[in-house]
Amino acid sequence: MEEKYSLNRIQFPYCPHREGIVYFDTYAPVARISSIRTLIAISTLKGLYIHQMDVKTAFLNGYLNEEIYMEQPEGFVMHRQENKVCRLVKSLYGLKQAPKQWHERFDTTVTSFGFIHNGGDRCIYSKCTKESTVVICLYVDDMLIIGTSLVGILETKNYLSSNFKMKDLGEVDTILGIKVKRSESQISLSQTHYIEKILTKFQHLNIKEFNSPFDSMAQLEYASTIGCMMYAMYCTRTDIAFAVGKLSQFTCNPGSDHWKAIGRVLRYLKRTRDLELTYNTHPGILEGYSDASWIDNSSDSKSTSGWIFTLAGGAISWAS
């Protein structure tokens, strides 16, 4: 895998980063993981093309609404004007509002080209013409471009490249650390490399394997920190949703039993690291399932609920 390196000058305004002075709003949306899975499932059903592009130094593209000054960067100080400062016109890495300003710039650019927002996800854009339909899915500076024809995708790529510095990655291979494997009749998602990184981090590569991710008889009193496993669960691993959800209830005060439970989940992930979430060309219907226990925890009289939605034979959204 190609490694990318970048060096950016971080701004140092005279005015500190205080809300209402240097910035007012910093919120910037990103595409939901469930939206990405849904688009991939639909692409499987309809035989759509899926391409990928990356925006180089995305945060440098945003225009600023606030008046911000910075010191002249070392090595770029103007002769006989050493005591002057620079006023920022465009965003820099390090500004709190940089992600927001980038998204606003991208939003304005693509909507002016005929794309419209999806009502359920602010970072999904679509454009329909007589010749083709194209969908853009944006996650910060990574994007999927999905279309019914390569002509429509190429037209979109050319337009984006005329407005931003883009890297064309061709057909999708890996998005957000999720490996995408496509055959004639299905698309599979997996996180083998990510799970191996988790196992290495927690030094569980050489431990015994288990056939199930969770022991339902274990009486857990506290929780443990499971952030790394959560990403795998959110992206492709529906099978550990209950275990991760159960452990996350006790994040304030984990005990030794909870670390043992985490070890069990990691051992299960080791055994199933190559497990794939697969979408097929049928069935083309959306199905949903939900269930709940009846006060499964006698200590607090609370129940556990869960739901899952599937499309093209694979899960697109779930929770436990």
Whether 219 and 258 have beta carbons less than 8 Å apart is answered as: no
Strand partners, 309: 288, 317
What pLDDT, in 10s, does the model give residues 126-161?
999 999 999 999 999 999 999 999 999 999 999 999
pLDDT for 5 equals 45
Classified as helix, coil or strand, 73 is: coil
Which pTM value belongs to this model?
0.82
Q: Is 80 left (phi over 0), alpha (psi -120 to 50) or beta?
A: left
- For residue 114, what are its two tokens? 């005929």
Interhelix angle 256-271/192-201, rounded to 10 degrees, is 140
- For residue 73, what are its two tokens? 């960067």
Whether 259 and 251 have beta carbons less than 8 Å apart is answered as: no
CA-wise closest residue to 246 among 318, 296, 196: 296
- For residue 24, what are its two tokens? 């007012």
Whether 90 and 48 have beta carbons less than 8 Å apart is answered as: no
Counts of helices then strands in the chain (DSSP H, E): 7, 15
Which ranges of the chain have pLDDT less than 50? 1-3, 5-15, 19, 205, 216-224
pLDDT for 207 equals 55
pLDDT for 208 equals 55
Cβ neighbours of 253 (radius 10 Å): 10
pLDDT for 203 equals 74
Rg over CA atoms, the chain: 23
pLDDT for 155 equals 98
Q: What is the mean pLDDT of the chain?
A: 86
pLDDT for 215 equals 52
Long-range contacts from 18-22, C-beta under 8 angstroms, 24+ separation: 22/66, 22/68, 22/95, 22/96
Cβ neighbours of 195 (radius 10 Å): 23
- Rounded to the nearest angstrom, the gap between the alpha carbon of residue 21 and the centroid of all alpha carbons in its chain is 31
